[in-house]
Structure 1
Amino acid sequence: MALDHHATDRSGHGAPLRIGILTSGGDAQGMNAAVRAVVRTAISRGAEVYAIYEGYQGMIDGGDRIRRFGWEDVGSILNKGGTTIGTFRSKEFRERSGRLRAARNLLLLGIDRIVVIGGDGSLSGLDLFRAEWPGLLAELVENGEIAPQIAEAHPTLMIAGLVGSIDNDLVGTDMTIGADSALHRIVDAIDALASTAASHQRSFVVEVMGRHCGYLALMSAIAGGCDYVLIPEHPPADGWEDRMCAELRRGRAAGRRDSIVIVAEGARDRAGNPITSEYVRQVIERELDEDTRVTILGHVQRGGVPSAFDRWASTWLGYTAAEELLAATPDSEANVIGIRGNRMSAIPLVEAVRQTREVAACIERADYEEAMALRGSSFTEMTKIFRELAEPSRVDASDCAKRIAIVHAGGLAPGMNTAARAAVRLGISRGHTMLGVRNGFHGLRDGEIEEMDWGTVEGWTADGGAELGVRRSVPKLDWLYSISRSLEEHRVDALLVIGGWNAYESAHLLYSERERYPSFTIPTVCVPASIDNNLPGSELSIGCDTALNVLVEAIDRLKLSGSATKRAFVVETMGRYCGYLALMSGLAGGAERVYLHEDGVQITDLVRDIAWLRESFAAGRRLFLAVRNENASENYTTDFMARLLREEGGDLFDVRQAVIGHIQQGGSPTPFDRLFATRLTSHAINLLGDELAAGTSKGYYVGLMGSKVGASPIAHMMEHMDKEFRRPLDQWWLALRDVSKAVAGEAH
């Protein structure tokens, strides 16, 4: 809801609306981003915001623990872990007397709207506080602690909850604040342990957080390429020790030098007995006679700099919570704001907490099927995928197996190796022979095709680059005959194309030429892998999360380099004509301005921005950040913008420009890109398998739309693209432009 100028009290007193915000329970990376967004969104709408320090305890204590926040009070917290306003597990708030004091302190400041960032316990306490509010007011008036007029002006407590939990345990939302960053910490540790384990030919048992939720354990096991995982919701069948050791033994026989088993702290067996990391270590040492070490990651999972996702998503959550509270009425429902399929979703608070606690209850009564159902379809899907990778139905293809060729094309994207590994291993497990094509469609033309076995892709999960090689070239018409012959000679039955827009164009070309070249009439599936995130049929592409994290880390360092002076930065991102990286890195990096090709750049925009910038630095600003998509404007280049700022800034500030460049394509893929690559590739292999089994030869491109992975026919691909600018006609992330403006100060 956009308010014209001032968000005013609906009691008719004309005072601005006042919002309180607190963080409660365990800390989680990204809480600060959410606090910042709530504060700045509310201020930009004319409301007042009060930060409540030390959680609910600060509300009870009052005084200087409830402080009015201005714009700059949250000016440097976006990249900080933990919560700068503190958190506390308040015992006093569990008592009515404590809640009575809290209500009094809020009312004396005119606060009747609260955003709470915390776990299910914090949110259930918030709902109880809301329900008791009328009775608390009546008691305060009766005791003479507040005037009747104050109670009349604030008859209802309006609330919004945000879930800060690294466990990602709230039912009804895809991701909670902090879970992605925690996954980064765990996977970084696994990658580090893998190298030392391989050096000594040693096994490691890694214990991660998750008393009633196996999200971190399961996803880190997949993203880390681990051998076995134990989670609370899905205990292993009896005899799991023998199966686990058999898989570890098979890996050693195949030449693998390291073994890693992930154990969630709440793991148990089918009888409900805890499975400890120490017990797993003893089993491995006893059965395999192998040196085995335990690593308990502990609270390091909560710490550190928040990931790019935990910055932009938490900012969006905070913005949405503030907007909802400013538009709230006494009849408004109490909601938790969550993320469902890259969209904000208001979830009834009571139901969300009830279902979340029901998972723990299901585990206690050994109803594991219901516990898995409550976790959702994607959690169940990833559990099955990991089980197949850890305990495959086969590791060698039969002589009569159908032959699926993997080819990369387009620009390099981190996660291509992860996708190829998943394709090879899942393909073999599902009964296919897997072939690798070297050097893209050049290699397909020249017959650079080789059979790949289980061991070929060992260690590819964490590797950046593309071991098969990648070329940007789209096949020329005079290549088609050679490609056709190559497919025939190597008896290719299906084609899996992993890459960017050039890969999609290539697949579409082969599909269009089926009448002339019968060998092209084979099942074909495209998997999106592009840091530009500009492909049809998928809201995200493999590689774009890694590129975004690289950008945000670079921006953090740039801002730090300018902290000792007054400086303006103009940063250029990749992305061609798609502004995804620019907008999201600007949002996650705290940019004041973002320039996109989708919006265009006008000289009037630049003149207005320069006038604002001069005034802002004259008033005390020390740092300014503009992020520009590389093709935002043909004439208003990054260099032009930097020179313009330098000329107009005079002695007020220095100006530096930074073209981040190809490091955005490099490095080890993030946990999200590894998981996403595995999930999309599993779906693609299933599609190809279905086509081969049915004797049909349809072509598809797969992707994530909302929360679900789906497929679209290649025949209609061009209908969904702006071919001139090589981007989808519909881009969901453009909705975040309003969020960026609200927190950057454009309306401030």
Structure 2
Amino acid sequence: MAADFAGRRLAVLTSGGDAQGMNAAVRAVVRTALALDAEVYMVTEGYQGIVDGGDGICRVGWDDVGSILHRGGTIIGTFRSRDFRERQGRRRAARNLVEHGIDRLIVIGGDGSLSGLDAFREEWPDLLAELVESGDLSKEQAQEHSMLMGAGVVGSIDNDLVGADTTIGADSALHRIVDALDDLSSTAASHQRTFVVEVMGRHCGYLALNAAVAGVCDYVLIPETPPGPQWVDRMCAELTRGRNAGRRESIVLVAEGVHDAQGEPITAHDVQGVLKERLGEDARVTILGHVQRGGSPSAFDRWMSTWLGHEAALAALGAEPGDQLPVVCERNGRVGRLPLVDAVRATREVPEAIEVGDVEKATSLRGDTFGELRDVFRDMSEPPRVDVVEAAPRIAVLHAGGLAPGMNAAAFAAVRLGIERGLDVVGVTGGFPGLASGALRSLGWADVEGWVPVGGAELGTRRDLPHTQDYFQIARVLEDQDIRGILAIGGFNAYQGMHHLWQERERYPAFRIPMVLVPASIDNNLPASEISIGADTALNEIVDALDRIKQSASAAQRCFVVEVMGRHCGYLAMMGGLAGGAERVYLQEEGVTLEDLSRDVARLRSSFADGRRLFLAIRNEEANRFYTTDFISRLFAEESRGLYDVRQNVLGHIQQGGNPTPADRALATRLVMHAIDDLAQRVEAGTSDAEAVGLVQGHVRRTPMAHLFDDFDLECRRPRAQWWMTLKPVLEAVSNEPERQ
């Protein structure tokens, strides 16, 4: 990265409530700025640190932000400063920054913290004028730093910034909540008990709604949709229906800031009282509280926060006097910039809309995904039917390809949404071989109970592709079973196999039925979708393993070479490297040469000679057929000259194991909802369209089967253009320490 900003000074602080992933953002800001030859300062205790000055503003170097990716909270502290709310406090803050030669500031916090940055920037010229008049600053100092520039980054577990799809900490908080729900579900089932769980989200129901979908809760109360006069009746009716259907446990989720349509607050204890009075339930209340803020950040909150911090440093260092302050945020699967003042203003419109009962405005401000999840949860928690209607059209659901965590969540959603939409969902056991052998069975509402939180695939999955000799048998099964549509959830083999069946429609009339593909692969290498079900879970398994591997080296000088899955797709390697703090990532997309390895050896020797204690290299399993993980490890060890030792780890199938993350559960539900809707419409219309449903730049996209492989490298089994490769400069900025002068 070119050193374009020599002499510029940048400060970073965290403010307001803490959020997991703040440390990743701070690390990225510091290292990106240093890579650009700027001077970087960290401010301790939020805005209070610049008000107090002194040791609260300290210059930092590369190693000062080492080994912090895995830590929750914020290492530089946060504080809700009363002093900064007063003009006198802001005047002191301006003086302290100017005395350090700082006129660029990055604030990581919620909307209140970002509003404070905007107000500070607006007042800056007047504050400096007052300081010059009082003799606290010279005219030369004021002229040299006449404008405050910078950027905001949203750190909030509530995920409440309008315009941003996800904010720092929200994914980790969701992990805490869903883990708790999974644990509560098992104890509740043991006693046939109801739990009422309160989660954070004063004006935003993101955590409650996503957790309700991922945790398969019975009912959820969120601020954006104030419950009407009949909410008690509806809730009790759904809990009763669930018990009558054989469910042993019930969970009601309540966002902390929810009010009813008359503006009266509804607490978890209120719900508990209703259940006792109306149903005679001895419901238990669990208020998760600040445990939602705690713990190590998820993989997403590490790599995305790193990307956000990198972009914030570029924005702040590249700003010119008079530029509008941006807030850097994740939107549509990318990192971009929004006008800070507009984003904060829109965010504050949500509670105003809620207060006046404008539900549609409040929901629309939260974005399309929020509305989709609200609708799909309503469909599954308050369905018009739970039994298959007589003579319902039959659709088959199958898995194919490698196992991906979240397949069960997808099959669960297919069955329940299919029944709700008037379909008879038939499960195929064992992929295409099961389809050919007639291993099919109708699945009822209760048959898929408990599937969502479990890893693996209850329907089974096989990598076998249907071949010419199988087509007749598959066609016969489809005809005999009166299958009117197929939903295939799986990896590349699922896509290739369904494409084969689609191509044979002229020869086999039974294949002239609607077909829909949904991506499920930890490799994240499928066409027509930027993210696949299972990839997020695999990435979290990788990051958990890397944390343990790195911890094992705490008392040694060691280089680790870790191999991850992905075949010819380097997604897991790249994102694992960003989230795990790797210094080097080997990708098949870039290749590995002897010259590369020679440079890496020189870098290892130099850095360990300068005091480095740990070096982490991540290798995609197919990065190079000759330069294997074992070869690279032996090479590094042979050339170490006693400066360090080398260990290698092949993570293997732990990447396919584990229970699906909240993100994979929500993704599976969202994509399958669209797939089932399309199948239901086409079955009713009698059409035979075939497509793949995927997520591209945050939006659901449908790709016709005829164009499925248009932009796909069939030899390497990956898309020709992969969005995540644009993160290579981010990885280089935070992992390659500039040469010390």
Matched residue, 1:139: 130
Contact 2:394 2:425 in 1 (8 A): yes
Matched residue, 1:13: none
Q: Which of 88, 93, 97 lines up with 2:84 in the alignment?
A: 93
Higher mean displacement: 410-419 or 368-377: 368-377
Cα deviation digits, residues 112-151 of structure 1 (max 9, x gap): 0000000000000100000011111111111111111111
Contact 1:741 1:747 in 2 (8 A): no
Structure 2: tracts of 5 or more residues without a match: none
Cα distance between partner residues in 2 of 1:159 and 1:694 = 55
> Residue 694 of structure 1: CA displacement?
1.8
Matched residue, 2:3: 5
Cα distance between partner residues in 2 of 1:475 and 1:588 = 38
Cα distance between partner residues in 1 of 2:475 and 2:705 = 19
> Residue 366 of structure 1: CA displacement?
2.0
Cα distance between partner residues in 1 of 2:86 and 2:150 = 20
Cα distance between partner residues in 2 of 1:612 and 1:568 = 12
User: Residue 7 of structure 1 aligns to which amino acid in structure 2?
Assistant: F
> Residue 732 of structure 1: CA displacement?
0.3
Cα distance between partner residues in 2 of 1:515 and 1:633 = 42
> Are 1:534 and 2:507 an aligned pair?
no
Higher mean displacement: 394-403 or 682-691: 394-403
Cα distance between partner residues in 1 of 2:87 and 2:709 = 62
Q: Which of 611, 614, 629 lines up with 1:623 in the alignment?
A: 614
Structure 1 segment 677-692 matched on structure 2, within 5 A: 677-692=668-683
Structure 1 segment 244-643 matched on structure 2, within 5 A: 244-643=235-634
Cα distance between partner residues in 2 of 1:325 and 1:269 = 43
> Residue 747 of structure 1: CA displacement?
4.7
User: Residue 334 of structure 1 aligns to which amino acid in structure 2?
Assistant: L
> Residue 290 of structure 1: CA displacement?
2.3
User: Residue 630 of structure 1 aligns to which amino acid in structure 2?
Assistant: E
Contact 2:150 2:315 in 1 (8 A): no
Cα distance between partner residues in 2 of 1:687 and 1:643 = 53
Cα distance between partner residues in 2 of 1:398 and 1:434 = 11
Cα deviation digits, residues 17-76 of structure 1 (max 9, x gap): 000000000000000000000000000110011000000000000001100010000001
Contact 2:20 2:295 in 1 (8 A): yes
Cα distance between partner residues in 1 of 2:53 and 2:347 = 31
SS of residue matched to 2:559: strand
Cα distance between partner residues in 2 of 1:210 and 1:398 = 39
> Residue 603 of structure 1: CA displacement?
0.7
SS of residue matched to 2:709: helix
> Residue 196 of structure 1: CA displacement?
0.3
Cα distance between partner residues in 1 of 2:313 and 2:736 = 15
> Residue 746 of structure 1: CA displacement?
5.5
Q: TM-score, normalised by structure 1?
A: 0.98
Cα deviation digits, residues 229-279 of structure 1 (max 9, x gap): 000010222211111111111111111111000000011111111111011
Contact 2:394 2:484 in 1 (8 A): yes
> Residue 400 of structure 1: CA displacement?
2.4
Cα distance between partner residues in 2 of 1:631 and 1:332 = 46
Matched residue, 1:25: 16
> Residue 475 of structure 1: CA displacement?
0.6
Cα distance between partner residues in 1 of 2:142 and 2:403 = 62
User: Residue 118 of structure 1 aligns to which amino acid in structure 2?
Assistant: G
Cα distance between partner residues in 1 of 2:208 and 2:708 = 37
Contact 1:317 1:338 in 2 (8 A): yes
SS of residue matched to 1:620: coil
> Are 1:50 and 2:41 an aligned pair?
yes
Contact 2:34 2:738 in 1 (8 A): no
> Residue 365 of structure 1: CA displacement?
2.0
Cα distance between partner residues in 2 of 1:104 and 1:235 = 47
Percent of pairs identical after alignment?
Answer: 62
Cα deviation digits, residues 485-504 of structure 1 (max 9, x gap): 01011100000000000000
Cα deviation digits, residues 444-503 of structure 1 (max 9, x gap): 000000000100100111010000000001111100100000101110000000000000
Cα distance between partner residues in 2 of 1:499 and 1:377 = 25
User: Residue 269 of structure 1 aligns to which amino acid in structure 2?
Assistant: D
User: Residue 441 of structure 2 aligns to which amino acid in structure 1?
Assistant: E
Cα deviation digits, residues 640-691 of structure 1 (max 9, x gap): 0000010001311110000000010011000000000000000100111121
Cα distance between partner residues in 2 of 1:685 and 1:747 = 52
SS of residue matched to 1:400: coil
> Are 1:84 and 2:75 an aligned pair?
yes
Cα distance between partner residues in 2 of 1:569 and 1:21 = 31
Cα distance between partner residues in 2 of 1:491 and 1:285 = 47
Structure 1: tracts of 5 or more residues without a match: 9-15
Matched residue, 2:200: 209
User: Residue 176 of structure 1 aligns to which amino acid in structure 2?
Assistant: T
Cα distance between partner residues in 2 of 1:254 and 1:654 = 59
> Residue 6 of structure 1: CA displacement?
4.8
Matched residue, 1:124: 115
SS of residue matched to 1:422: helix
Aligned CA-pair RMSD: 0.8
Contact 2:263 2:355 in 1 (8 A): yes
Cα distance between partner residues in 2 of 1:479 and 1:56 = 68
Matched residue, 1:11: none
Contact 1:423 1:681 in 2 (8 A): yes
Cα distance between partner residues in 1 of 2:457 and 2:87 = 60
SS of residue matched to 1:356: helix
Higher mean displacement: 368-377 or 474-483: 368-377
Q: TM-score, normalised by structure 2?
A: 0.99
Matched residue, 2:57: 66
User: Residue 317 of structure 2 aligns to which amino acid in structure 1?
Assistant: L
Cα distance between partner residues in 2 of 1:567 and 1:196 = 43
Matched residue, 1:238: 229
Matched residue, 2:179: 188
> Are 1:729 and 2:736 an aligned pair?
no
SS of residue matched to 2:483: coil
Number of paired residues? 739
Contact 1:78 1:311 in 2 (8 A): yes
SS of residue matched to 1:649: coil
Contact 2:150 2:317 in 1 (8 A): no
SS of residue matched to 1:38: helix
Cα distance between partner residues in 2 of 1:161 and 1:536 = 35
Contact 2:465 2:497 in 1 (8 A): yes
Cα distance between partner residues in 1 of 2:130 and 2:280 = 69
Q: Which of 688, 692, 698 lines up with 1:701 in the alignment?
A: 692
> Residue 423 of structure 1: CA displacement?
0.4
> Residue 442 of structure 1: CA displacement?
0.5
> Residue 5 of structure 1: CA displacement?
2.6
Runs in 1 of length 4+ with deviation above 4 angstroms?
none
User: Residue 381 of structure 1 aligns to which amino acid in structure 2?
Assistant: E
Cα distance between partner residues in 1 of 2:363 and 2:387 = 31
Cα deviation digits, residues 418-462 of structure 1 (max 9, x gap): 000000000100111110000000000000000001001001110
